[in-house]
Amino acid sequence: MNDLPNGWEFVDFPEIVFFQEGPGLRKYQYRESGVPFLNIRTFVDESIEKKLCNFLDVKEVEGKYQHFLVDEDDILVATSGSIGKMAIAKAEDLPLMLNTSIMRFRPIDEESLGRRFLYFFLKSDCFFKQAETAWTGTAQKNMGPSHIKTFKIFLPPIAEQKRISNKLDSLFAHSRRTREELEHIPKLIKRYKQAVLAAAISGELTEDWRKKYGISFTLKKVKMSNIGYLGRGKSKHRPRNDLRLYGGIYPFIQTGDIAQSNGIISHHLQTYSEFGLSQSKLWEAGTVCITIAANIADTAILSYPVCFPDSVVGFVCDKEKCLPEFIKWSIDLMRSDLESFAPATAQRNINLAILNNIELVCPSIEEQKEIVRRVEKMFKSIESIEEQYQQARQLCDRLEQATLAKAFRGELVPQDPNDEPASVLLERICAEKQQPVVSTGKKSRRRTA
């Protein structure tokens, strides 16, 4: 690059950065205890959540994977799926081992490349734009050491690196506090929605409506089996990964689609062949889907006919007695109670009999319609708050990237003409590489002056 700031260099990654990807581990290697190893889920707010780790046998690690053990202050980066998700290894995290799709980075020589400077570079678009050209795979993006070898990094004078890192630490501390404040908003929104639903199901929300029409307060409880049909999905076969919706191809949803649906199933990612359908069931639009395995009592309403597996229960309302929305909200409020019925095993689940016997408050169909109208209106009024929250988070991201871009253009802190230029650092590194290797009897090392 010809337009680098004075004293800067644009350097190949392998020249000044050590990087390493973890080994490919298999489930049969996992143990209940031992040496914990990383996965992407263990990265939480740039820290390691060790309770989410799996384990390898200590002797296996000592025999095969010793060189994959993480060191304190290693910069850990996800290189598959959630590419760029990061964490910093702390002393209390150790021992800890790498895993495939996780790479660690650190300077080869911190007198030439500061660790914090490298950390900020790995967070920046300067790194991600190079990563985008390296991504392989279609459904899931991946990059590995062979890609990283082709990357380059800005190298300012070491004194300027420290000034940049200190300034970024200060600015990002403000950004972090802003994010922490923003993260209260989803919790408040969730509590508000729960309060609205509790008022709706208890009759409090429509108390004025009943008074207006002279209706007495008779919110009786009924079993689900008395107000509709409840049944399990039947398919246990893997669906076809085919998006065609014609010629005997039928939509199919999984439990994960329900959890991520935001309450309404309005699209599908997989389909089922006519052969599969013969062993399953096509559920009609308006069915309330309830998960009964793993995540208990996730709910969604179908907007079109679909098939689903036996880990999902479908509830079809008696249209003269209840509305799908009212049933869904009632189940949502009972989620913690339903979860308590699931045995504490690796695969948590509840059975159909439990759902058949639970009792719900069920007002008249006319009052349910009024409840649905009011709840949807109130929920819509807070959608703008959720949108503003998302916009604020995105603004934080953009501001951080703009700040990093400014830093790597050499515009964030003043330059000092007295700083030793990066070219001298590179000459020193090159000279050290030319030093002959001297055997110490235990471990080879380069001769130093």
pLDDT tens-digit series, residues 61-78: 999 999 999 999 999 999
User: What pLDDT score was predicted for residue 139?
Assistant: 53
Model confidence band, residue 442 (pLDDT cutoffs 50, 70, 90):
very low
| Same domain membership, residue 342 and residue 254 | yes
Contacts of 184 (CB under 8 A, 6+ apart): none
- pLDDT (average), residues 370-391: 90
d(CA 146, CA 131): 12
Which of 319, 335, 362 delimits the end of a domain?
Answer: 362
| Same domain membership, residue 271 and residue 139 | no
| Same domain membership, residue 316 and residue 234 | yes
Q: Which domain holds residue 349?
A: 220-362
Is 177 within the bounds of a domain? no
d(CA 354, CA 359): 10
- pLDDT (average), residues 164-180: 93
Which of 140, 155, 170 delimits the end of a domain?
Answer: 155
For the chain, the domain total comes to 2
Which of 155, 170, 200 delimits the end of a domain?
Answer: 155
**Per-residue pLDDT at 338 exceeds 50:** yes
Is 173 within the bounds of a domain? no
Averaged confidence pLDDT in the chain: 85
Is 170 within the bounds of a domain? no
Return the biggest CA–CA distance within the chain. Answer: 97
| Same domain membership, residue 126 and residue 239 | no
Ramachandran angles phi, psi of 408, nearest 5°: -85, 5
**Per-residue pLDDT at 88 exceeds 90:** yes
User: What pLDDT score was predicted for residue 248?
Assistant: 52
| Same domain membership, residue 147 and residue 66 | yes
| Same domain membership, residue 226 and residue 145 | no
User: What pLDDT score was predicted for residue 155?
Assistant: 95
CB atoms within 10 A of CB 351: 12
| Same domain membership, residue 243 and residue 142 | no
Q: What is the DSSP string of 249-264?
A: -EEE--HHHHHTSTTE
CATH code for the domain of 65: 3.90.220.20
Is 168 within the bounds of a domain? no
Preceding peptide of 417 cis, ω within 30°: no
| Same domain membership, residue 137 and residue 234 | no
pLDDT tens-digit series, residues 304-337: 888 888 889 999 999 999 999 999 999 999 988 8
| Same domain membership, residue 34 and residue 137 | yes
User: What pLDDT score was predicted for residue 274?
Assistant: 47
* Of 241 and 156, more confident: 156
pLDDT tens-digit series, residues 42-65: 998 889 998 889 999 999 999 999
| Same domain membership, residue 226 and residue 120 | no
Burial letters for 250-262: b for 16+ Cβ neighbours within 10 Å, e otherwise?
Answer: bbbbbbebbeebe
Is 160 within the bounds of a domain? no
Model confidence band, residue 119 (pLDDT cutoffs 50, 70, 90):
very high
Is 196 within the bounds of a domain? no
Is 179 within the bounds of a domain? no
